[in-house]
Amino acid sequence: MRGMAVIGVLGAVLIAGAGAWYAMAGGDAPAPVSLDAAASKLQGSATGTAIPKATASVVAATIPNSTAVASATGASAAATPTAAAKSEPAAGARWTVDGANSFVGYRVGEQLAGIGANTAVGRTSSVSGDLTFDGRAVSVLQVKADLRQLKSDDNRRDNYLRRSSLESDRLPDATFVLAEPIAVSVAAAEGAAMSATARGDFTLHGVTKRVEIPVEGKITGGKLLVVGSLRVPLADYGIAQPRVPLVLSVDEIAVMELSLVFSPAS
């Protein structure tokens, strides 16, 4: 998806004309996805918010004595008994994407005339999906992102991506469907980091390819966090690199980033 960004950046130059838009480029790009950043965002959004009892009962069934139970009763996560951290999800537990705390996006490098190196980053929180996880393996995982909602630091780039290059107005969805179970490297204790490789079918710009995505995850506050990134050769997905005078070069490989938060399905 980062490739999308590159192309959007370049196309935006044509639309914006002169280098006015590019003169704004070169600022600090958002940091790459990370498990710590996802956890911090989730903790920030949950501050002062108690989990409804109905939700807490689902989490409790999935992760016995989980932090969600403490939250629902007004207790802090820190007050959760140590034994709760050793509990694991029940077999076949289903989780769904929490779009408010999730995003999928792109990151791509470029060389701009008169500016030099720049990193284009765009993200969308219009993400849906679900997974089935039993504490030792993920047996089902499917995620869909609406690329029409990609937002970068300039809406001219975003508008161009919808019309050209990525053509998200015509081909709006990027999807990933797991092809084989993901064996988790450690027991799914509350707060314990896990790492694995997700092998499945990735569809972008109407092209589907089998890929392997290194991912990290952990359960925190009764939710499952998953982050990962995938190198995406633009040509492999039929995304042509634009030729724009102000753009000296763009990376042939972009990076698709995902930062997903899953909640127990009700």
pLDDT for the residue 127: 98
Walk along the chain (266 residues) and give the pLDDT tens digit of each residue. Answer: 444 444 443 343 333 433 333 334 445 789 999 999 999 988 887 654 443 433 333 334 433 333 333 333 333 333 343 434 444 555 568 999 999 999 999 999 977 788 889 898 999 999 999 999 887 789 999 999 999 999 998 787 788 789 888 999 999 999 999 999 998 766 666 788 889 999 999 999 999 999 999 999 998 988 999 999 999 999 999 997 766 666 677 799 999 999 999 999 97
Whose tokens are 């392997």? That residue is 212
How many structural domains comprise the chain?
1
pLDDT for the residue 156: 75
Whose tokens are 């999906």? That residue is 129
pLDDT for the residue 188: 66
Q: What CATH number corresponds to the domain at position 202?
A: 2.40.128.110
pLDDT for the residue 167: 94
Q: Is the dihedral of CA 84, 187, 264, 92 positive or negative?
A: negative
pLDDT for the residue 62: 39
Domain that holds residue 173: 2-264
pTM of the predicted model as reported, rounded to 2 decimal places: 0.74
| Strands (DSSP E) found in the chain | 93-97, 103-112, 116-124, 127-133, 137-146, 173-178, 182-183, 194-204, 207-220, 223-233, 247-250, 253-264
pLDDT for the residue 57: 38
How many of the other CB atoms lie within 10 Å of CB of 61? 13
Distances in Å between the Cα of 80 and the Cα atoms of 74, 165, 222 are 11, 50, 12
pLDDT for the residue 184: 79
